[in-house]
């Protein structure tokens, strides 16, 4: 998702009280940004923020950080936050490739990856947010009992992600290729913008959760 050149998007992000503009300076200290201490959950590639905002509203005891690369996309979430501020939610505008400079070792309890860009060409596989390159970063910042939750409608990306996780020693704790038809796994599911869009045209939604195998 990329909304190009929205005038003022960079300034809006820079001046927003909901965005953390020097995130590296909070490495290891994210709890100081929230009124209450709690587990830290992050979504990488949050887009316009529907999922993370609904999650933060549903779980006020958890602190959330949404990460999005493009200010033009993040802008939409900032506009929604103005209408409904959530004290347990902050945003960062950055490329997740540097995420290990922003969160310290084991600082994060859960990582959500929702409808990540598929990067279909083989030569771009390393850009996929579920590639081993990114899994190594998640391994550093995720608490030892933490987990990754990944949803997509892209069957190839899902298969690739399962392979990468298995080959790099993660355990797959939950796996379905039709989340919405699974009454148990779908209970409490919080929809993302892309999930709504793709499930409405009949695409089954895949979901996995993965943790470290010790």
Q: Shortest Cβ distance from residue 129 to ligand SAM (Å)?
A: 6
Q: Residue 79 belongs to what H/E stretch?
A: helix 71-83
Q: Comparing C-alpha atoms, which of 209, 212, 208, 189 is closest to residue 199?
A: 189
Residue 193 found at the interface with ligand SAM (CB under 6 A): yes
Q: Shortest Cβ distance from residue 37 to ligand SAM (Å)?
A: 26
Cβ 110 vs Cβ 210: under 8 Å: no
Q: Which of 67, 142, 147, 208 binds ligand SAM (CB under 6 A)?
A: 67
Residue 95 found at the interface with ligand SAM (CB under 6 A): yes
Show Cβ contacts of residue 10 under 8 Å, excluding neighbours closer than 6 positions.
71
Residue 73 found at the interface with ligand SAM (CB under 6 A): yes
Separation between Cα atoms, residue 176 and residue 155, nearest integer Å: 11
Q: Which residues are catalytic?
A: 117
Cβ neighbour number for residue 181 with a 10 Å cutoff:
11
Which stretch in 62-70, 78-86, 165-173, 176-184 sits in contact with ligand SAM by CB under 6 A?
62-70
Burial class (CB in 10 A: 0-12, 13-18, 19+), 47: buried
- Residues in 105-134 at the binding interface with ligand SAM, rule: CB under 6 A: 114-117
Q: Which of 18, 26, 30, 194 binds ligand SAM (CB under 6 A)?
A: 194
- Token readout for 41 is 């959950």
Q: Which of 97, 172, 175, 190 binds ligand SAM (CB under 6 A)?
A: 97
DSSP annotation of 17 reads T
Q: Shortest Cβ distance from residue 174 to ligand SAM (Å)?
A: 18
Separation between Cα atoms, residue 62 and residue 82, nearest integer Å: 20
Residue 208 found at the interface with ligand SAM (CB under 6 A): no
Which stretch in 33-41, 136-144, 188-196, 204-212 sits in contact with ligand SAM by CB under 6 A?
188-196
Residues of this chain that bind ligand SAM (CB under 6 A): 1-2, 44-47, 67-70, 73, 95-97, 114-117, 192-195
């Amino acid at each position: 998702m990329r909304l190009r050149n929205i005038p003022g998007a960079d300034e809006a992000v820079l001046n927003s009280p909901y965005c953390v503009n020097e995130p590296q300076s909070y490495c290891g200290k994210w709890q100081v940004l929230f009124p209450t201490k709690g587990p830290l959950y992050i979504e990488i590639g949050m887009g316009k923020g529907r999922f993370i905002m609904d999650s933060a509203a549903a779980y006020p005891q958890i602190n959330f950080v949404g990460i999005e690369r493009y200010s033009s996309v993040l802008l939409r979430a900032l506009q929604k936050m103005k209408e409904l501020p959530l004290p347990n939610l902050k945003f960062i505008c950055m490329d997740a490739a540097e995420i290990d400079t922003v969160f310290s070792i084991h600082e994060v309890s859960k990582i959500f990856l929702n409808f990540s860009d598929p990067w279909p060409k083989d030569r771009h596989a390393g850009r996929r947010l579920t590639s081993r390159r990114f899994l190594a970063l998640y391994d550093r910042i995720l608490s030892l009992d933490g987990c990754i939750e990944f949803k997509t409608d892209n069957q190839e990306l899902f298969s690739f992600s399962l392979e990468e996780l298995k080959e790099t020693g993660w355990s797959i704790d939950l796996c379905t290729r039709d989340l919405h038809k699974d009454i148990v796994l779908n209970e409490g599911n919080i929809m993302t913008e892309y999930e709504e869009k793709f499930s409405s045209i009949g695409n089954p939604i895949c979901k996995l959760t993965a943790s470290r195998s010790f």
